[in-house]
Amino acid sequence: MDTDEGRTTLTNQSATPHGYPEPHGYPAQEPHPIDGPGTSTGGFPIYAFRESLPGPEPEQGYPATPDYGLPGPDGRPGLPDSFGGAGVLGKHRNPFAVWLGLPLITLGVYYFVWVYRTNRELGEYDRRIQVNPALSLLAFLVGWLVLVPPFVAAWRLGTRTRTAQHAAGVPETNPVLAFVLFLIGFGPLFLQLELNRLWDRYPGAVEGQQVPLYR
């Protein structure tokens, strides 16, 4: 005897987006956000009609950044004898925030943070640059007790920036000018501009990414 209990109803046949019954044991799937839950006249899927339209496929995602290598390792940079022609990209900063904005907000603390991080980034970028960021920071913090260390640290920061620019193949800064600007309070502004020019040598790369050295 033919009954409704043994018959597949139209409602069950339309349980899936394209009118087929859902296989037993599988959860129901959400309808496609563009195609919707139904089909066009005659059972022809809407997504198939869309794919039949002429013209190139639309681009998806974001353009890939240049491949400068794998991210650099954390920790201390390698010794000069392990130098392999690559370094770790430093951070691009706003020069005016470094020079005036953040030091005012932090009551001068950010200036010392900048000295430490800048020296560390230069050493990580070019492992031939011998630098101890902690000692450079101490020279600016307590070196004024014996007067000389802050001036030495300011001079060396300028020469390290020039050395890194040479390795990147960009025009090199003048460390004498950087030192004089440090004496009158404009050193961080000038050197951050020079460092940004160094990091801009690698368009599309991000902070911490391994990049090649050209010299």
Chain segment 101-123, per-residue pLDDT in tens: 999 999 999 999 999 999 999 99
Residue 137 pLDDT? 94
Give me the mean pLDDT over the 161-167 stretch. Answer: 96
- How far is residue 212's CA from residue 119's CA, in Å, rounded to a whole number? 19
Say if residue 58's pLDDT is above 90: no
**Cβ contact 182:154 at 8 Å:** yes
Q: What is the CA radius of gyration of the chain?
A: 31
What is the value of pTM for the model shown?
0.63
Give me the mean pLDDT over the 25-31 stretch. Answer: 54
Residue 70 pLDDT? 43
User: Looking at per-residue confidence, does 191 or 21 come out higher?
Assistant: 191
Residue 47 pLDDT? 41
Nearest to 111 by CA among 162, 60, 185: 185
Q: Hey, CA dihedral for 12, 13, 16, 17, is it positive or negative?
A: negative
**Cβ contact 31:25 at 8 Å:** no
The answer for residues whose C-beta is within 8 angstroms of residue 71's C-beta and 6 or more apart is 88, 208, 209, 210
User: Looking at per-residue confidence, does 203 or 8 come out higher?
Assistant: 203
DSSP conformation class of 88: E
Domain ranges of the chain: 86-202
Strand, helix or coil at 65?
coil
